[in-house]
A and B are shown apart, each in its own frame.
Chain A
Amino acid sequence: MVGIVSYGAYVPIYRLSREAIGAMWNKGVGKGERAIANADEDSVTMGVEAVIDCLHGMDRSQVDGLYFATDSPPYIEKQAASIIRAAADLREDILTFDVAHSLRGAGSAMRAAADAVAAGSAKRVMVAASERRIPAPNSDSELQFGDGAAAFLIGDIDVAAVLEGSYHLTSEFIDTWKKPEDTYALTWEDRFVRDEAYMKMIPQAVGGLFKKLGIAPKDITKAAFYAADARTHGAIAGAIKLDPKTQVQNPMLDNVGNTGTALAPMILVAALEEAKPGDRILFATYGDGADAFLFKVTEQIEKIRDRRGIKRHVASKMMLPNYGKYVEIRELMEWESARRGARRSSLPVIWRERKMIFALYGQKCRACGNIQYPRQRICIYCQAKDNFDPIRLSDKTGKVFTFSMDQRAQEIVLPKVFTVVNLDEGGRFYSVMTDRDTTKISVGMPVEMTFRIQMGPSENLPLEGSGLYNYFWRVRPVRC
């Protein structure tokens, strides 16, 4: 029986209220807020968070594949899944690929993963979806879009939600599109899209699934499906003949926002968090057609409760004080040009040190037992030579030993909080603190690791970071 073995999710800590957007553009808007990725986050870093959440307490070496769905990859040419694979410290001899170009990518990836497991080419496959789309300023999308990620481990042992069947529908329908040279997506009139696409394709795919499996709407415990806004979401529920009060999982459109490819998967994680053995969960993705899935929850669900998932991430938040702060972290303006030279990174260095940079491996001296980072030839404690065992530090926690807050660093969000951390299991790590409230930082404060963009290409220098997203591990106050 193939199905979901584990789940995980990620919601960035920042929220922007619709009120703040309305105040900026001097217009009346609805209530609610959007989850906003920090300046050092993108679809890759959020994908890493969701994958690691999904693998909480599990053996990462048992994962045989990583299929990553996003419509906001950092690179048009260069696979995102390969970066996530490295940061999550999954094996190298696995199949990784990106599913892009459609909001429906997560559903496609999930079907492909289930098929791979069923066919025996893989025992366990990670399916992750992550989105950080940038809406046009003062557009309807700006009120709707949110950022987030979800991940599922698909397998046939210790299954927590059995995949009972799926139904797939593809369509040449055009609702929204974006060419490589477009800064923002283009759309057609929302009424046309609502009537001809949302209201028809998801119900059609769900209807096909019901017919295929011989079930009726009343057999569904909870439905987790995509819609661009809350009103349409309710209308789709009605079209599928679900009771909106009891059978529809809250789509989080008012507190997280429309996270695109990641939205339906995130709603599914929220449904699984509350699910009981025996529940039947409908999952439907939309975009260029629709995919519908039916899952039956097993007793195993009780064993994977210890996830941050949706609930804990949503509860842990910091409000952006105003629209200006949003402009800053999303780099929506062209800033004053820099007088200092661009900081270059070196591809041979990044390649040579990949285990230390992406998976954050340090080393433990076999002679004196001290953990050290970064890699050394001679132990910095006892001077023994070349006598170390590798040790992964990305899953370690620590306490702030000391910190400073630099107001003039080359960094989007100032101050840049330089942080020296003593790790709880030994060793010391020097990094930058992110997702922090600067009034609450103190010596001794507990912190954890988070994979971020240490230096991006988007500064006001032509070859800042050698034009790359230079990913590295930062620390943050223990999130939730």
Chain B
Amino acid sequence: MESLKDKVAIVGMGCTAFGEFWHMDTIDLIVEAADEAFKDAGVTAKDIQAAWVGYTVSDTAMTGIILSSALQLQFLPVTRVENACGTGAETIRGAALGLASKTYDLVLALGFEKMKDAGFGGIGQAWPGKWHPVYGAAPEVGGAVGRYALAATKYFSTYGLTPEQGKTMLAKVSVKSHYNGSRNPKAMLRNRITIEQVLNAPIIAWPLGLFDCCGICDGASAAIMCRTEDAKRYRPNGDYVTVKASAIACGPGWGKERTNYGYTVWEETEAAAKQAYEMAGIKNPRKELSLAEIHDCFSIAEVIAAESMSLCQKGHARDDIESGAWEQNGEIPVNVSGGLKAFGHPAGASGGREVYEFYKQFQGKAEDPSRQLKDLKMGLSHNQGGHPGNFVAGITIVGEPPSK
């Protein structure tokens, strides 16, 4: 088995702003993201040989045709992928495999989601249990938050935190994300918040309140990819990134039915991280990664994900949060973009958007100079879809090209 490490490169990226775009439809989102990526790579739609497109809500689109019709791609192979919130990572993985096999030379990976035409907040449905909907009690309004809240309750109880201590720990995560998002021009939520605001906000699903939840919104992200040996053709000055690892882990599920499932570790994220670190040759992720964009659909998700992917010792997230280790100038910056929490979460677009954060940071082009990190080597992008005990996790690691 060969590693994918450094075989393919990302030579152009685009990302729409994320938000509630009452004036934009699916096609607008796709065209905006793709156009930015094409211009960034100095190519046009005519140069693309294949594409992977990812989205989770089928009400607004159909198959791969949504991409070819939006961009007027002329009879190209377009593959629609869907792996819940891991969809964005899956588009990049599909594109990378198509390049590594040398079937294609220049491809497009695009993820999008139009979530705000639904008529309600939150996601449309939780992924149903067996015998849905009688068993599994799904889908229900706010299904995802109710299920992540199960993990928050258990995390508090496992590590001996009172609900107040636990909620305060989580509040600090959200305060950090909003602070980061407030300085990111493309982020959905750009307001700064205080711990008191978080603690006094309405409860959505105890113990999680309004500010523990990310913003569901519209958006799209796109990447133009080629094999690494061709990358300089598009970016002669070498400011492209290479894919160090691309991992997907579908769990065996049934966590909420298995007595050996503890709710304090995301097993799928742990497995995807193991795949990714092996592929990228990473021994000490906390030291070797320059930043991590983590799936923080809820504050507790960031906490457990950081522990599950060994950025932090299990049960010690609180120490890192208190010391500021995850802040922009901390030991391992987590969600410097604002994360799903503040940047927003159009499901299929988030994976690509997280890679976009590293890509721009690496090029020294982070919007708002105050956000710019220095000496970047590798960045991790993480997403997970489903619910605790029943996830699919995707991790993409990109970084400095080997020749540089």
Contact = CB atoms under 8 A, between A and B. Distances in A.
Given A343-B133, A415-B206, A430-B129, A406 B257 contact: no
A408 B121 CA distance: 10
A350 B134 contact: yes
B134 A404 contact: no
A349 to B, nearest CB: 6
Interface stretch (A117-125, A225-233, A235-243, A373-381): A373-381
B70 interface: no
B207 interface: yes
A418 B134 contact: no
Interface in A313-338: none
A402 B204 contact: no
A374 B257 contact: yes
Contact of A345 (B134, B143, B252, B260): B134
A255 interface: no
Interface residues of B, number: 47
A420 B139 contact: no
Contact of B258 (A375, A380, A432, A455): A380
Contacts of A403: 150, 153
Contacts of B153: 402-404, 443
A402 B261 CA distance: 11
Contacts of B203: 405, 407, 415
A401 interface: yes
B134 A406 contact: no
Interface in B128-183: 129-137, 139-143, 145-154, 157
A409 B146 contact: yes
Interface stretch (A149-157, A182-190, A421-429): A421-429
Interface in A422-478: 422, 426-432, 443, 454-455, 465, 470-472
Interface string A325-366: 000000000000001100111000110010011000000000
A349 B128 CA distance: 14
Contact of B205 (A357, A408, A454, A465): A408
Most chain A beta-carbon neighbours within 10 Å: one of B122, B204, B252, B259: B259
A343 B146 CA distance: 17
B119 interface: yes
A372 interface: yes
B205 A428 contact: no
Nearest to B128: A343
Given A372-B257, A373-B257, A380-B257, A407 B135 contact: no
A404 B204 CA distance: 10
A422 B259 contact: yes
A408 B149 CA distance: 13
Contact of A454 (B137, B141, B157, B254): B137
Contacts of A405: 149, 203, 205-206
Nearest to A405: B206
A385 to B, nearest CB: 14
Contacts of B152: 404
A410 B140 contact: yes
Contact of B142 (A345, A372, A409): A409
B55 interface: no
A372 B151 CA distance: 21
A192 B273 CA distance: 80
A380 to B, nearest CB: 5
Interface in B243-267: 252-254, 256-261, 263
A408 B122 contact: yes
B134 to A, nearest CB: 5
B134 A408 contact: no
Interface string A371-399: 01111100011000000000000000000
B142 A402 contact: no
A416 interface: yes
A411 interface: yes
Contacts of A349: 131-132, 134
Contacts of A428: 256-259, 261
A415 B137 CA distance: 14
B49 to A, nearest CB: 39
Interface string B197-229: 000001111111000000000000000000000
A36 to B, nearest CB: 23
B365 to A, nearest CB: 39
A375 B130 CA distance: 9
Nearest to A344: B133
Contacts of B150: 402-404, 418, 420
A443 B154 contact: yes
Contact of B119 (A339, A372, A416): A339
A424 B390 CA distance: 24
Contact of B154 (A345, A402, A427): A402
B259 A374 contact: no
Given A345-B133, A403-B150, A443-B157, A410 B259 contact: no
A209 to B, nearest CB: 47
Nearest to A362: B257
B120 interface: yes
Contacts of B157: 402, 443
B66 to A, nearest CB: 21
A373 B256 CA distance: 10
Contact of B256 (A343, A406, A407, A420): A420
Contacts of B133: 343-345, 454-455, 465, 470
A443 B145 CA distance: 19
Shortest 9 CB-CB distances between A and B: which pairs? A404-B149, A406-B146, A405-B206, A402-B154, A408-B142, A406-B205, A409-B140, A339-B119, A430-B256
